[in-house]
Amino acid sequence: MKNNTAKLNLGKYRKPMTETLREWIKIPSLKADPAPGAPFGPELARMLEAALASCRALGFKTRNVDGYVGEAWMGEGSDEDALAILAHVDVVPVGDGWTREPFGGTVEGSTMYGRGTSDDKGPLAAALYAMYAVKEAGVPLKRKVKLIIGCDEESGWEDIAYYKTVATLPRSGFSPDATYPVINIEKGGCHYNLTGSLSQEGLRILSFSVGERFNVIPGSATALVEGDESMIARAEAISRQYGWPVKASMEGNAVRLTATGINGHAAHPSIARNAIGQMLITLRDLGAQGAIRELADKIGTQYLGEGLGIKAEDAISGELTCNMGIIRVEDGQVSCTLDIRTPLLVDGSRLRKIIQDHLEGITVEELSLRTPHYVPLSSELVQGLLEAYHEVTGREKKAIAIGGGTYARSLKEGVAFGATFPEDPDVAHQADEYVNLDSLMRSTEIFASAIIRLAGKVG
């Protein structure tokens, strides 16, 4: 079908959608300690209720599932057969380097800045107003369309786990939490904790604590070490040698080292630079021994797992990637985390032993393991979404693989679909995260076309 959205008059929704998104961005929906009625903390409970209030204001039926998940829907039919659209309202920590208020929803021209604008409140707003446009146009539906709003996507997915115990998760749908055209392959994933001992020889490290999340590539790292002013010149030489910033300054009788990288999402390490890895190499070259040297040698700023013996790639899903997101030095011990994204050909259950065999004096503990997720290109869902994308953009209909994991993998037949375009920079999890409002309106049109194709009686 052609011109599915020609009569929806989507332009009139731009202003209200922008205002809705701005109000959502102003809520700092970071995961926190649970409270009564707020399993992920008071701010996320407030954010979930705000999102549901927006849905009710547009005439949708809603349900708050015990603070874990929200639902808004239109149409009739069973929940299992519904077209699911899954998005999330939790955000990652702000981090360093912002030049705008992270929770201000600042609009400059056609750009809105703020944590969550791209990941994932902006796409959620686009999906909501796409549903509203279809509803207002009176398009007859052959199945229910259900918007599912999660609160723990950036952490442990406790929201979806709970939801599955008290509600029926639809079989098929999409998550607007990645990029176009259609992502029908999500790589597998493994999380590991690595622990080792600080050496009593060489450089003495007084403090080194960086990172908060597995899936964030840290853009800055600091460490305090024993040393004198001569170390400042040595650090500057290291910076020149590797071509990335390392600064040193005296702090009392010790030296404060600062490495500046490029922060980003663990699923896209090629466009970031891990500051933890830079700091490990700096500490090694300044004389650190033991676990610090081993981690610098075997991981450092590598992101393909070369030094761990796990480098792998296949033609369908691409390369294995590896990110060290957290490191702590405490009580003579070094601990750090690895977030590894695996292509289809890799058996994730074998990785721990391989990594352990490549690391001397370091213990490797597996924390979690998920298998790859794959939906065939020939499926009705994938083909319908590709048609919607092509209808609005005129672009090639193709499916791709990503290293990230979205809510789509919680469905038997789920894919990621938008809301960034192939040429857009990846700003998720980064300082000055933003969304282009013109692009967001284009996504609203694409989502509306997809809803009509997959759930409309005329689709």
Return the active site residues: 90, 153
Total residue length of the chain: 459
- Helix (H/G/I), strand (E/B), else coil: 39: coil
- Positive or negative, the Cα torsion across 118, 120, 124, 125? negative
Distance (Å, rounded) from C-alpha 243 to C-alpha 272?
Answer: 14
Distance (Å, rounded) from C-alpha 325 to C-alpha 14?
Answer: 37
Distance (Å, rounded) from C-alpha 355 to C-alpha 305?
Answer: 9
Distance (Å, rounded) from C-alpha 296 to C-alpha 105?
Answer: 39
Cis bond upstream, residue 120 (ω within 30): yes
**Strand (E) positions, 168-268?**
172-175, 178-179, 182-186, 188-197, 205-210, 216-217, 220-226, 246-251, 254-260, 264-265
- Helix (H/G/I), strand (E/B), else coil: 285: helix
What letter represents residue 393's amino acid?
Answer: T
Distance (Å, rounded) from C-alpha 274 to C-alpha 396?
Answer: 34
48: nearest Cα among 149, 166, 198: 149
243: nearest Cα among 259, 226, 264: 259
φ/ψ (deg, to 5) at 64:
-95, 115
70: nearest Cα among 51, 83, 46, 56: 51
Distance (Å, rounded) from C-alpha 345 to C-alpha 59?
Answer: 46
- Helix (H/G/I), strand (E/B), else coil: 451: helix
φ/ψ (deg, to 5) at 451:
-60, -45
Question: What tokens appear for 288 in the block?
Answer: 């650190």
Angle at 316 between CA 312 and CA 319, to 5 degrees: 30
Distance (Å, rounded) from C-alpha 136 to C-alpha 447?
Answer: 15
Are the beta carbons of 303 and 274 closer than 8 angstroms? yes
Distance (Å, rounded) from C-alpha 72 to C-alpha 145?
Answer: 9
φ/ψ (deg, to 5) at 203:
-60, 135
